Structure 1
């Protein structure tokens, strides 16, 4: 089952997808989010400061990243949205403007002025939509659509408003119908969503909803959701306080694992013997899930929860990731 979790901004797609993956044991695709793509695509900018050209770049980057991760899990996956999300979010901007909040004064029947830039943006989004719809139709078996029933998260990453959300929500369902991809609208609390989705698709259940949600919340909390200006300030501060010879990213899985244990989890470097197991270091399964996410992102590999287990030593975990990395080159 290749299942997508659909919905507009702040509908709970990410946390629902994470929890459903833990609840059923079905792997989740882990393509980069827009806020992770943004620092490379438009350094120092927030999403509402991006130009039409920068938004197009990010739409393409995310579509490609989604396609790569989906292809690696062809036997079955759960996905936080699909490439339809980016296409529709772009298409709606043709009506409400590149920064939707600039048009909040317009009525529901009004559109922003179609400048030459916006007209070109519309043409490009229309053509991208054709390719993205073909991709989604050939990739997904079904969707769960989360209704627009939650308040808009005020985290600085969503330059949108209720008009944008409702337009996107309607467009998403209309497109799924057009593509003849089965979808079910599932709302309610997170435990209610998990139970209903599993029942609709007859999915396996490998742990309780409470356990799955706790794991998902830990994973979600590990995401970097700071504003881009805050990230830039932290980067500048780090550059000013860390000696030049120490300013580098870990180059190997072993280095990254040790770095995470020391810098993020407060362990002492001298205690991290290569033959020490995570269990002996009192590293629990929740920490290992967070570590797997970081390793997957850094080395572009899939590290299932069932493989990165407390019984592994640091060197065995590093060898596991290295073998997966070599297999993809």
Structure 2
């Protein structure tokens, strides 16, 4: 088997766009290491007021930096260091205003949350710019959205695209089948083929 290339690739996208399947198939097909974190590691350990945003964003960022730093050769990151910050910021932006109106004493927390996530966004963006060689952003299929989470998913998608556009790392926005995406990405970066793409996709779907 050939050594995996020293390519550090990140796959981003809104929830349910197929990031994990794409990353798994790409790793199987090309030999790139698979970089991800366990969901329970990023989840807040305590039920505090800002746990879903501030705590989750920090815990997720720390875990991703650690897991990616351990991979000396190339890797494909399932979500990137932007993942938890974008999820937290989207949650903040889509939270219903009446929640704060019903609890006026929570207003200082709301102000802190906004300022904190703004500062944290700058940190994770700078980290992304020096960590990855390229981004692959999976286009959101709005047909898969439901009334309950359409605004949240759309906000995540827009935040990611805006961040990638303002960053310094080349990025590709792509849609289509998992096989089409993996084939195009592998060809664009001239990655070695250690497993036929259809077999890699099939294995990734079975593991999902």
Contact 2:136 2:173 in 1 (8 A): yes
Q: Aligned residues, how many?
A: 196
The structure carrying a bigger strand percent of its residues is 2
Q: 1:214 aligns with which of 198, 202, 206?
A: 202
Instruction: Kindly name which structure, 1 or 2, has the bigger radius of gyration based on alpha carbons.
Output: 1
Distance 1:147 1:179 in 2: 18
Q: Which residue in the other structure is 2:4 paired with?
A: none
Q: CA RMSD in A?
A: 2.5
Distance 1:179 1:27 in 2: 24
Q: Which residue in the other structure is 1:192 paired with?
A: 180
- TM score, norm. by length of structure 2: 0.84
Contact 1:41 1:58 in 2 (8 A): no
Q: Which residue in the other structure is 1:273 paired with?
A: none
Q: 1:94 aligns with which of 92, 95, 104?
A: 92
Q: CA deviation at 1:115?
A: 3.0
2:192 is equivalent to residue 204 of structure 1:
yes
Q: Which residue in the other structure is 1:132 paired with?
A: 124
Q: Which residue in the other structure is 2:55 paired with?
A: 57
Matches within 5 A, 1:1-329: 1-33=7-39, 35=40, 37-38=42-43, 41-42=45-46, 51-97=49-95, 102=96, 115-149=107-141, 151-152=144-145, 161-220=149-208
Q: CA deviation at 1:54?
A: 4.5
**Structure with greater contact order relative to length (CA < 8 Å, sep ≥ 6):** 2
Contact 1:23 1:207 in 2 (8 A): yes
- TM score, norm. by length of structure 1: 0.55
Contact 2:53 2:89 in 1 (8 A): no
Give the gaps of 5 or more residues in structure 2.
1-6
**SS state at 2:16 partner:** coil
